[in-house]
């Protein structure tokens, strides 16, 4: 046990050294002018992170097509993007990503509107309310729905966009979650879908690297972000304690900026917000899983 503790301490010290060397001392400069004129498709663009991404892209001179289910909200976001840009550049596509075939057509539609694609940002997700998994028929129906929306549609859209992204030396950005690395209770279908995303796109990233592809693929493992849906999900569950409500949620516009920065600079992975804290959590889970269990019991226990 003592040897294990010393090993963990050594890993932590080494991690701090790596962090200071490569993150603090060698932070890469993000020239936002690189987004000017870029043709960007953003899914899940009617609210939350997707909405913030759309405004940020418009601010830096990109041309955006957003997609989601709610047309009224899409219209409002596009109108605001046009105001930010000072001209009518942007558009929307109404689509339900549960229809995997339709998700492919969205890529084709966006490519036709923009004349090509430089960035594809797969941000859409079905985030269900917290509930205890029992294996009921209803649970399996939900599992299948989440799998379709949160995983299969991402894979289908990524595959459909590859030709365009190769032509433009483009960027594919996949928005995942810390839940793709660290399971949370009462979110079984959602966590399943995020582990699937991480596994598939992690493997694809390695393949692209070996093939020396000109497509850049970035997977973003996000922690708590200050969106209405995040607060609704985590603060309404009867078992949750005040710790979740008082948690340090990341500002949605900071998150959008960091996503675009990571994608533009060709980073393979982004862990944000509270990057160092989240990485420490992953190390703790690897060596001291009982501590994570105790934390979950404290946050979610009755």
Summarize pLDDT for 122-148 with one digit per residue, the tens: 999 999 999 999 999 999 999 999 999
- Catalytic site positions: 190
| Phi, psi at 275, each rounded to 5° | -55, -50
What gap in Å lies between CA 7 and CA 27, rounded to an integer? 28
What gap in Å lies between CA 269 and CA 261, rounded to an integer? 11
Domain extents for the chain?
32-300
Q: What is the pLDDT of residues 67-119, one digit of tens each?
A: 999 999 999 999 999 999 999 999 999 999 999 888 999 999 999 999 999 99
| Phi, psi at 137, each rounded to 5° | -60, -40
How is residue 42 written in tokens?
């953003």
8 Å CB contact between 251 and 223: no
Q: Which CATH number fits domain 32-300: 3.40.50.150, 3.90.226.10, 3.40.50.720, 1.10.8.60?
A: 3.40.50.720
**Chain center to CA of 112:** 25
Q: What is the pLDDT of residues 21-47, one digit of tens each?
A: 444 444 678 999 999 999 999 999 999
Task: Count CB atoms within 10 A of the CB of residue 277.
Answer: 11
How is residue 264 written in tokens?
């533009």
Q: Please report which confidence band the pLDDT of residue 15 belongs to, taking 50, 70 and 90 as the band edges.
A: low
**Chain center to CA of 180:** 10
8 Å CB contact between 90 and 81: yes
């Amino acid at each position: 046990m003592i040897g294990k503790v010393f090993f963990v301490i050594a890993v932590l010290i080494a991690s701090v050294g790596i962090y200071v060397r490569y993150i603090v001392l060698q932070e890469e400069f993000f020239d936002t002018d690189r987004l000017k004129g870029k043709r960007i498709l953003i899914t899940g663009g009617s609210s939350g992170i997707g909405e913030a991404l759309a405004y940020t892209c418009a601010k830096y001179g990109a041309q955006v097509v957003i997609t989601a289910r709610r047309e009224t909200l899409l219209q409002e976001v596009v109108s605001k993007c046009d105001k930010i840009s000072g001209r009518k550049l942007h558009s929307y596509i109404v689509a339900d990503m549960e229809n995997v075939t339709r998700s492919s057509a969205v890529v084709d539609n966006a490519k036709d509107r923009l004349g090509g694609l430089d960035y594809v940002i797969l941000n859409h997700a079905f985030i269900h309310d917290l509930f205890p998994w029992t294996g009921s028929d209803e649970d399996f129906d939900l599992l299948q729905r989440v799998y379709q929306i949160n995983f299969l549609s991402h894979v289908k859209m990524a595959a459909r966009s590859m030709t365009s992204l190769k032509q433009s030396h483009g960027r594919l950005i996949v928005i995942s979650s810390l839940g793709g690395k660290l399971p949370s209770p009462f979110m079984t279908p959602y966590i399943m879908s995020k582990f699937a995303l991480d596994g598939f796109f992690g493997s694809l990233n390695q393949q692209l690297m070996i093939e020396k592809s000109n497509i850049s693929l970035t997977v973003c493992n996000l922690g708590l972000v200050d969106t209405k849906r995040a607060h609704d999900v985590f603060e309404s569950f009867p078992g949750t304690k005040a710790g979740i409500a008082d948690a340090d949620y990341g500002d949605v516009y900071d998150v959008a900026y960091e996503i675009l920065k990571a994608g533009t600079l060709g980073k393979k992975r982004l862990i944000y917000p509270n990057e160092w804290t989240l990485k420490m959590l992953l190390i703790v889970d690897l060596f001291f899983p009982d501590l994570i269990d105790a934390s979950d019991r404290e946050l979610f226990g009755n």
